[in-house]
């Protein structure tokens, strides 16, 4: 009989995540599991600098040693940034992630540290559901050459330095005619990312599972430029018009410079982020608990009898 295999991915900047990772590895090993441990740093894309505008790691090159399709699950210990990094590390292998919050907001996390023993018991018994979230492939191309690429779970942001400088974009969505947008920047977001930067920029909330992406201008120069929701089957090409360069950031933690001769290409990835859910996913509950959406108004009227 083969030994079951599990993984642990933790944020090594947070001491508590490191301590829990060691304890959890010992517990799983004692229970007969083969355990691989790594930090989330391998999923951080890193930033380029003006002297080295390209920092290209292939999408499949982020998978940590020992993590493969034989792994039954991996536990992620950290906040939303750790979850974003971990999803890039293991999405090509299809490994389900149990996300445990050791951070602040924890919008993407499923459980908390004080619930970890019960959560592990449930997961080891296989009593959970898997929710798949769409990811997009983001590439910077110069001609036919790929200069930079990454998996994206939340959003891609393209803007000028500094951010407050207005810039111009030519954007092609699928087979449709190109559109011109003047704004401080543009965001292309997944449904998962619709509650992140896109929401702050005026985009709508999109429930997970809806097969769409959205394009959101940041502080557009025209009243006619507003958020656009379109099928995720449509690829996107973005041509920056500004000189000398623009900055692209993916999921808030890495990116590269984009020059006028480059284009940014986005499409739905064949890989998905697979999250373990200990109970049936309830997106509206998360919106209510994390963002206060749909809470009863304190001045909600009550029925009264007329004299």
Q: Determine the pLDDT at residue 293.
A: 84
Burial (CB count within 10 angstroms: exposed 0-12, middle 13-18, buried 19+), residue 141? middle
DSSP 269: E
Do 207 and 150 have their domain in common? yes
Do 100 and 129 have their domain in common? yes
Our count of domains for the chain comes to: 2
Q: Determine the pLDDT at residue 269.
A: 98
Tell me the per-residue pLDDT of 153-181, one tens digit each, with 9 for 90 and over. 999 999 987 766 788 999 999 999 999 99
Q: Determine the pLDDT at residue 255.
A: 78
Known catalytic membership, residue 80: yes
CATH number of residue 189's parent domain: 2.60.200.30
Do 24 and 173 have their domain in common? no
Do 140 and 252 have their domain in common? yes
294 and 284 Cβ atoms separated by less than 8 Å = yes
Q: Which residues, given as ranges, of the chain have pLDDT below 70?
A: 1, 44-56, 163-164, 297-307
Q: What are phi and psi of 175, to 5 degrees?
A: -90, 5
The Cα 140–Cα 88 span in angstroms is: 17
The Cα 78–Cα 36 span in angstroms is: 17
Joined together, the tokens standing for residue 281 give: 């996913």
Q: Is 239 known to sit in a ligand binding site?
A: no
190 lies in which domain range? Answer: 135-270
Do 225 and 286 have their domain in common? no
Q: Determine the pLDDT at residue 85.
A: 92
The Cα 158–Cα 175 span in angstroms is: 22
Whether residue 105 has a cis bond before it, omega within 30° of 0: no
- Distant-in-sequence, close-in-space partners of 73: CB < 8 Å, separation ≥ 6: 6, 7, 95, 96, 97, 98, 123, 276
Q: Determine the pLDDT at residue 63.
A: 93
Do 205 and 215 have their domain in common? yes
Q: Is 199 known to sit in a ligand binding site?
A: yes
From the candidates 26, 68, 70, 80, give the one annotated as an active-site residue.
Answer: 80
Q: Is 81 known to sit in a ligand binding site?
A: yes
Do 157 and 266 have their domain in common? yes
The Cα 125–Cα 6 span in angstroms is: 13
DSSP 102: -
Q: Is 137 known to sit in a ligand binding site?
A: no
Q: Determine the pLDDT at residue 96.
A: 98
Q: Determine the pLDDT at residue 230.
A: 97
Do 129 and 142 have their domain in common? no
The model's pTM: 0.90
Do 165 and 259 have their domain in common? yes
Domain membership of residue 215 (yes or no) is yes
Q: What are phi and psi of 254, to 5 degrees?
A: 180, 155
């Amino acid at each position: 009989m083969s030994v079951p295999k599990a993984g642990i991915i933790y944020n090594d900047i947070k001491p508590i995540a490191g301590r829990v990772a060691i304890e959890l590895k010992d517990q799983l090993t004692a229970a007969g599991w083969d355990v691989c441990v790594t930090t989330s740093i391998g999923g951080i894309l890193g930033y380029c600098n003006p002297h080295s505008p390209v920092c290209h790691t292939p999408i499949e090159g982020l998978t940590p040693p020992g993590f493969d399709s034989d792994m039954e699950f991996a536990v992620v210990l950290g906040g939303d940034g750790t979850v974003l990094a971990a999803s890039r590390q293991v999405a090509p292998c299809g490994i389900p992630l149990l996300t445990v919050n050791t951070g602040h907001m924890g919008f993407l996390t499923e459980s908390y540290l004080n619930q970890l023993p019960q959560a592990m018991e449930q997961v080891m018994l296989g009593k959970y559901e898997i929710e798949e979230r769409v990811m997009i492939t983001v590439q910077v191309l110069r001609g036919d050459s790929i200069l930079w690429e990454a998996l994206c779970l939340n959003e891609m942001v393209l803007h000028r330095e500094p951010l407050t400088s207005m810039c111009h974009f030519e954007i092609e969505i699928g087979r449709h005619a190109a559109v011109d947008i003047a704004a401080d920047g543009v965001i292309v977001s997944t449904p998962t990312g619709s509650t992140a930067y896109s929401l702050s920029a005026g985009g709508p909330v999109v429930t997970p599972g809806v097969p769409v992406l959205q394009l959101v201008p940041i502080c557009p120069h025209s009243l006619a430029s507003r958020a656009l929701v379109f099928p995720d089957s449509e690829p996107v090409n973005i041509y920056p018009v500004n000189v000398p360069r623009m900055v692209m950031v993916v999921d808030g933690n890495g990116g590269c410079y984009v020059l006028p001769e480059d284009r940014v290409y986005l499409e739905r990835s064949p890989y998905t982020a697979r999250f373990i859910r200990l109970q049936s996913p309830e997106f509206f509950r998360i919106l209510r608990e994390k963002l206060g959406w749909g809470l009863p108004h304190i001045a909600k009227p009550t029925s009264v009898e007329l004299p």
